């Protein structure tokens, strides 16, 4: 009933935080200020969930900087970066009581990019540099891409350096070859399937009725090298003395299944047997510079944001994540003084980002240098953790993305959907420090229909889109804690993990 000429107002739905324009502009069914609340049902609200320790050990990891979901062949685990003085240390947390590591320790590593691949983890250390008064993220200078097997052994550099050596070649027992000048070499293979460039190149004149024998076959340094293959050219009609200037092929059956044996005798082959090309291995990196983003696209590893080549993505051969050609494995964003920040895949298209640019490429089945480039947006881009990952997969959603841009939190479906999803909290978004956007991390939970992002002040903003994924119906709820949030992840389908500084 009316009270002193005032008609009561019934609020049937609480729609979360509203901070756009003046406080007087706040609609009656929104909060001008609120903290640590969440939507309850379709209409109400209540306190957010409590928090507790994830690790059930005497000395849980502290000073966390980054968490990634790491699906292995036996379960869903997490990789955790902590700060230990000047060192960044990565641990593998298998469950609440089992921790391996540190599996990788690098001085100056304040963050890292990660992608899982066939149970292995590929890790790229990076940090923040000051360039003209701006914070920019680039691959750590003089550092490289690493691979971790997932079994607690230390991570090692991806790809592999090749040793010096001389391959000795001679006639073997009775057999067959196509007589004439061939060049021969040795290709090493690691436990992850990486194939080195041919080394110890040497020429030899084969005889039609004799096999070929090899000795002083070089061995490679490191326990990761598990096999070696002998490669050869076909008969060279006019040999000019350049052992590396010809096309190489794997000789069928000329494989040593260890890294110890130095002799392989009596190998017979015809030139028509040389089918599997090894020449492309010559152009591959033996060590791959670190970057800020890693993506698995069409079974290729894509790395971007190197320290020196800030506008290049490096693309591996399909099925060979460590085989990246220096010549043809390149995608280029237009240089503008800003480094590449991120990359993702949506609807079979690879999207690349700088802080204020978005571009796309489509795999045409040929070398990456031939993939058509398409500018998507010349004003909107994102930061190093600004593309929302989904649940405990660590990948993007199949139909749309949540992307943190300078304009706001946007829905992306191949184009940025405007107005932005953060329309109702524009003041809050614009109050964030643009020079600290590296701290924003976006995480999407489609099970509970929520998107989370860490603010530059290291609190959490929760967007509940139960009543609609649009700027009007999404409900924003700010969460704060007695500690600072540096990173978040979801495990066990919908369990939110907070990576924090010391409590």
Q: Report phi then psi at 417, rounded to 5.
A: -90, 125
Is 485 within a domain?
no
Instruction: Give dist(CA 126, CA 349) in Å, integer.
Output: 25
Q: pLDDT per position in the chain (503 positions), as tens?
A: 556 677 776 667 789 999 999 999 999 889 999 999 998 877 788 999 898 888 888 788 999 999 999 988 888 899 999 999 999 999 999 988 899 989 999 999 999 999 999 999 999 999 999 988 899 999 999 999 999 999 999 999 999 989 988 999 999 999 999 999 999 999 999 999 999 999 999 999 999 999 999 999 999 999 999 999 999 999 999 999 999 889 999 999 999 999 999 999 999 999 999 999 999 899 999 999 999 999 999 999 999 999 999 999 999 999 999 999 999 999 999 999 999 999 999 999 999 999 999 999 999 999 999 999 999 999 999 999 999 987 555 555 568 899 999 999 999 999 999 999 999 999 999 999 999 999 999 999 988 899 999 999 999 999 999 999 999 999 999 999 999 999 999 887 778 999 988 64
Q: 3-state DSSP call for residue 467?
A: coil
Burial state string for 120-147 with b = 16 or more CB within 10 A and e = fewer than 16? bbbbbbbbbeeeeeebbbbbbeebbbbb
In a domain, 264, yes or no: yes
Phi, psi of 265 (to 5 degrees): -105, 150
Q: Are residues 123 and 263 in the same domain?
A: no
CA 141 to chain centroid, in Å, comes to 18
Based on the fold, state whether residues 301 and 335 are members of the same structural domain: yes
Instruction: Assess if residue 79 is contained within a domain.
Output: yes
> E strand or H helix at 430, and its extent?
helix 426-431
In a domain, 475, yes or no: no
Gap between the Cα atoms of 394 and 413, Å rounded: 18
316: in domain: yes
Q: Are 227 and 304 contained in the same domain?
A: no
Is residue 328 assigned to a domain? yes
3-state helix, strand, coil in the chain (%, to 5): 5, 45, 50
183-214 burial, b for 16+ CB within 10 Å, e for fewer?
bbbbbbbbebebbbbbbbbbbbebbeebbbbb
Of 384, 405, 433, the residue at which a domain comes to its end is 384
Q: Is residue 240 part of a domain?
A: yes
Residue 274: strand, helix, or coil? coil
Report the CATH number at residue 293.
2.120.10
**Do 261 and 304 have their domain in common?**
no
- Say if residue 106 is in the same domain as residue 195: no
Whether 184 and 110 share a structural domain: no
* Number of domains forming the structure of the chain: 2
Q: In three state form, how does the secondary structure of 14-42 look?
A: CCEECCCCCHHHCCCCCECCCCCEEEECC
206 and 132 inside one domain: no
Among candidates 109, 50, 111, 126, which has minimal Cα distance to 498? 50
Domain that residue 184 falls in = 168-283
Which of 384, 405, 425 lies at the terminal end of a domain, its last residue?
384
Whether residues 154 and 295 share a domain: the answer is: yes
């Amino acid at each position: 009933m009316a009270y002193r000429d005032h008609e009561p107002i019934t609020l049937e739905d609480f729609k979360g935080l509203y901070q756009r324009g003046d406080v007087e502009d706040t609609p009656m069914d929104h909060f001008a200020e609120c903290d640590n609340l969440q939507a309850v049902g379709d209409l109400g609200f209540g306190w957010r969930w409590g928090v507790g320790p994830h690790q059930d050990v005497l000395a849980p990891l502290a000073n966390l900087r980054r968490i990634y979901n790491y699906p292995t062949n036996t379960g869903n685990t997490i990789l955790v970066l902590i700060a230990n003085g000047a060192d960044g240390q990565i641990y593998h947390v298998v469950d609440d009581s089992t921790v391996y590591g540190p599996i990788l320790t690098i001085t100056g590593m304040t963050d890292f990019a990660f992608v899982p691949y066939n149970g292995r983890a590929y890790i790229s250390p990076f940090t923040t540099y000051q360039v003209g008064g701006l914070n920019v993220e680039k691959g750590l200078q003089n550092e490289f891409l690493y691979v971790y097997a997932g079994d607690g052994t230390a991570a090692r550099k991806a790809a592999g350096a090749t040793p010096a050596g001389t391959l000795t070649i001679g006639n073997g027992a009775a057999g067959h070859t196509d007589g004439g000048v061939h060049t021969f070499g040795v290709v090493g293979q690691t436990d992850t399937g990486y194939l080195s460039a041919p080394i110890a190149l040497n020429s030899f004149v084969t005889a039609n009725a004799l096999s070929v024998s090899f000795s002083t076959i070089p061995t490679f340094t490191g326990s990761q090298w598990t096999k070696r293959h002998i490669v050869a050219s076909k008969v060279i009609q006019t040999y000019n003395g350049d052992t590396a200037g010809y096309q190489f092929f794997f000789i069928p059956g000329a494989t040593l299944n260890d890294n110890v044996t130095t002799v392989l005798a009596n190998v017979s082959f015809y030139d028509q047997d040389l089918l599997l090309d090894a020449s492309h291995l010559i152009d591959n990196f033996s060590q791959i510079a670190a970057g800020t983003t890693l993506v698995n696209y069409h079974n290729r590893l894509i790395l971007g944001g190197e320290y020196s080549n800030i506008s290049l993505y490096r693309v591996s051969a399909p099925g060979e994540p460590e085989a990246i050609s220096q010549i043809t494995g390149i995608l280029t964003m237009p240089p503008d003084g800003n480094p590449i920040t991120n990359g993702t895949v949506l609807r079979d298209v690879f999207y690349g980002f700088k802080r204020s640019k978005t571009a796309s490429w489509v795999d045409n089945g040929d070398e990456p240098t031939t993939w058509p480039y398409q500018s998507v947006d010349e004003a909107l881009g994102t930061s190093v953790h600004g593309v929302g990952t989904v649940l405990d997969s660590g990948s993007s959603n199949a139909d749309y993305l949540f992307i943190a841009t300078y304009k706001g939190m946007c829905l992306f479906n191949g184009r940025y959907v405007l107005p932005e999803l953060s329309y109702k909290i524009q003041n809050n978004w614009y109050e964030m420090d643009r020079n600290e956007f590296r701290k924003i991390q976006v995480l999407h939970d489609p099970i509970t229909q929520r998107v989370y992002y860490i603010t530059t002040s290291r609190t959490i903003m929760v967007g509940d889109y139960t009543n609609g994924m649009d700027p009007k119906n999404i409900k924003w709820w700010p969460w704060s804690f007695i500690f600072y949030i540096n990173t978040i992840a979801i495990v066990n389908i919908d369990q939110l993990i907070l990576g924090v500084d010391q409590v």
